[in-house]
Structure 1
Amino acid sequence: MASTTISLVVRPRGRPIKNLPESITVGREEPSAQIFQRIADAAKFPVNRLRVTKGSDGSAVPSSRDVTVHQTGLRDRSAVDVKDLGPQIAWRTVFIVEYLGPLLIHPLVYYGRPLIYGTSAPPSRLQTLSLILVTLHFLKREYETLFVHRFSLATMPAMNIFKNSGHYWIFSGINLAYWIYAPTAPTAGPSNPLITYGGLALFAIGEIGNLITHIELKNLRRPGSTERGIPRGLGFDLVTCPNYMFETMAWIGIWLVSWSLSTGLFVVIAVGQMAVWAQKKERRYRKEFGDKYKRKRFAILPGIY
């Protein structure tokens, strides 16, 4: 009868890890995440800093609760290479920090108009409305980060937080705020009610639709699991990523209210980035689910892209 446990040879790769064991024993039918946990326990090292690859071909060993050690292809006396990924930070923390930027910057610029622009004139109705919409958008993002999103990866390299936060702090924070609340901004003048109300309607539909799709995506994955399912529901029959479609609608709504060139530029950049992500997701869905998945012609905008 075959043994229910196997021994894996552990080899260091890259920067040395103190107390790294030469071998570990793990159950054949245990989750592959136990490989990481056994190594971390033996080395007294943070498990999220470990990258484990198969010594035979260099392919990554998943830290998963849904894949068994046997399913990874590892057998008794197989070698695994262990690398220290360096200091890590939780993805949830990264998202919180990213969205905090615009939440701080927009009110600071709005209320700091006398110091920034040297004006004593009060903000216009459109400038106040723009502040409300941007604040609501990023408050919703923070809420989803804390209570809705489930992350397939627990952490990322800590230093990447500066790169990731730059997009939000600079482009949707400083860039948008400086131009939207300026005394010479289009929002400082009279508004066209049809355009303003149309923008508000798009914003409301976009934000609500985006939240619904995020909840649907959350429900596809059990807590603590990395498994994926085929998304269905609002918008998923039209495009690959309706969450990006609704996100686009919300930002077009903000643009129609703020009527700022900087907001329009931000929308173009954001949609371009979301389009790249959506195309990657479409390819992943086709590869992962095969004929079970209804292929989409459009990634984020029905009839357009």
Structure 2
Amino acid sequence: MSKLDIEVFDAKSIKKTPITISDVSPNDNVLSLKRKISAKNHLSVDRLSIRLEPRGKNVADEKFVSELNLPAKNAQLYVRDLGPQIAWKTVFLLEYAGPLFVYPIFYLRPSFIYDASSKPVHQAVFLALICHSFHYAKRLYETQFVHRFSNGTMPFTNLFKNCSYYWGFAAFMSYFVNHPLYTPPMLGSLQIYAGLIGFVLCEAGNFSIHTLLRDLRPPGTKERKVPYPNSNPLTQMYNFTSCPNYTYEVGAWISFSLMTQCLPALFFTLAGFAQMKIWADGKHRNYKKEFSNYPKTRKPIIPFLC
């Protein structure tokens, strides 16, 4: 296949004068095309989405031009400006750092917030502080040292949305758990320690899945494989769900809600589950579509159910 001259139209306004990219080799990938377009329209590569149709899906950077089935003459592509972008890692670090600092404020400075005299702190309140802080410290560690991101950036506006969600819920939960009128769990120590054990096990399971996924993808690649359990018994959850990291995440917050008997914590759990169910359904569909031998016994997030 000979080299191509490709006209690149603005996906939002195809009436605009197209950019012409000359001498494109069939062995060029989409990322190299983005770089050539970036040099002409002066937008960063991260902002560009290449599509075969104006409203089509984004074509992966790894795709070769030869795989796009473009005609030898009058070849056309469409580019969309995704707007200002920010690194996924930066967003994760900021959204997780907030709760780590917001939640303890209500515990450490109750007289500033509640305008009430201090009283002995209940065991459940202290353990809630430890568990909540540990969870977000773990997330920061994973973001820095464990996760390998398949996408480099996300829209800049997501930073404010994500931070509002995590920081806001941290303050919402902490306000009620650390309130002077906080009511301890109905079943006492039994309920507290049952919730604590469940939280610790689920946090360990979540970390186990994240390390398994890290080892599955070579550094600097976007390679995808079917994940299977390894020697760690907590990874056996992969026999039942496509996204056991989400399963464990939800389990951890159910346990936290049980340990604290706090309604705002349950609200956070339900909101998180609703979002993770959407993500899990999408990943489950993609696994089945991409891998013909994908295990049929797995459900997206809840074993045996959904």
TM-score, normalised with respect to structure 2: 0.87
Question: 2:30: which partner in 1?
Answer: 32
CA distance in 1, matches of 2:204, 2:221: 26
Report the CA distance between 1:58 and its aligned residue: 5.1
CA distance in 1, matches of 2:257, 2:8: 55
Deviates more, 1:35-44 or 1:135-144: 35-44
Question: 1:229: which partner in 2?
Answer: 225
Report the CA distance between 1:39 and its aligned residue: 1.6
Q: Which amino acid aligns with 2:33?
A: I
Question: 2:190: which partner in 1?
Answer: 194
Instruction: Give SS of 1:204's match.
Output: helix
* Equivalent residue in structure 1 for 2:213, among 212, 217, 222: 217
Q: Deviations over 1:182-221 (max 9, x none)?
A: 011124x897222222222111111111011112222333
Classify 1:21/1:302 alpha carbon distance in 2 versus 1 (closer, same or farther; 3 Å). Answer: closer
Classify 1:221/1:74 alpha carbon distance in 2 versus 1 (closer, same or farther; 3 Å). Answer: farther
Q: Which amino acid aligns with 1:213?
A: I
Classify 1:122/1:74 alpha carbon distance in 2 versus 1 (closer, same or farther; 3 Å). Answer: farther
Question: 1:59: which partner in 2?
Answer: 56
Report the CA distance between 1:21 and its aligned residue: 4.5
Matched residues, percent identical? 34
* Equivalent residue in structure 2 for 1:80, among 62, 77, 95: 77
Q: Which amino acid aligns with 2:297?
A: K
Q: Deviations over 1:103-153 (max 9, x none)?
A: 121011111200111232243322121111000001111111112222222
Q: Structure 1: state its 5+ residue gaps.
A: none
Q: Which amino acid aligns with 1:294?
A: P
Instruction: Give SS of 1:52's match.
Output: strand
Report the CA distance between 1:154 and its aligned residue: 1.4
Q: Which amino acid aligns with 1:62?
A: V
Question: 1:135: which partner in 2?
Answer: 133
Matches within 5 A, 1:250-261: 250-261=252-263
* Equivalent residue in structure 2 for 1:168, among 166, 169, 174: 166
Question: 1:68: which partner in 2?
Answer: 64
Question: 1:207: which partner in 2?
Answer: 203
Question: 2:113: which partner in 1?
Answer: 116
Classify 1:237/1:192 alpha carbon distance in 2 versus 1 (closer, same or farther; 3 Å). Answer: same
Does structure 1 retain, via aligned residues, the 8 Å contact 2:11–2:55?
A: no
Question: 2:95: which partner in 1?
Answer: 98
Report the CA distance between 1:14 and its aligned residue: 3.8
CA distance in 2, matches of 1:156, 1:185: 39
CA distance in 2, matches of 1:243, 1:127: 26
CA distance in 1, matches of 2:78, 2:12: 10
* Equivalent residue in structure 1 for 2:149, among 133, 148, 151: 151
**Residues 1:275 and 2:277 are matched in the alignment:** yes
Q: Deviations over 1:19-53 (max 9, x none)?
A: 98432333212332111122223444310011222
**Residues 1:242 and 2:239 are matched in the alignment:** no
Does structure 2 retain, via aligned residues, the 8 Å contact 1:33–1:62?
A: no
CA distance in 1, matches of 2:145, 2:13: 37
CA-based RMSD of the aligned residues comes to 2.6
Question: 2:286: which partner in 1?
Answer: 284
Does structure 1 retain, via aligned residues, the 8 Å contact 2:198–2:252?
A: yes
CA distance in 2, matches of 1:143, 1:24: 45
**Residues 1:301 and 2:302 are matched in the alignment:** yes
Instruction: Give SS of 2:96's match.
Output: helix
Classify 1:81/1:52 alpha carbon distance in 2 versus 1 (closer, same or farther; 3 Å). Answer: same
Q: Structure 2: state its 5+ residue gaps.
A: 230-234
Deviates more, 1:20-29 or 1:234-243: 20-29
Q: How many residues align?
A: 297
CA distance in 1, matches of 2:282, 2:60: 22
Question: 1:181: which partner in 2?
Answer: 178
Does structure 2 retain, via aligned residues, the 8 Å contact 1:11–1:79?
A: yes
CA distance in 2, matches of 1:126, 1:28: 63
Does structure 1 retain, via aligned residues, the 8 Å contact 2:125–2:260?
A: yes
Q: Which amino acid aligns with 2:222?
A: T
Report the CA distance between 1:276 and its aligned residue: 2.4
TM-score, normalised with respect to structure 1: 0.87
Does structure 2 retain, via aligned residues, the 8 Å contact 1:15–1:84?
A: no
Report the CA distance between 1:304 and its aligned residue: 4.5
CA distance in 2, matches of 1:94, 1:210: 20
Classify 1:152/1:24 alpha carbon distance in 2 versus 1 (closer, same or farther; 3 Å). Answer: farther
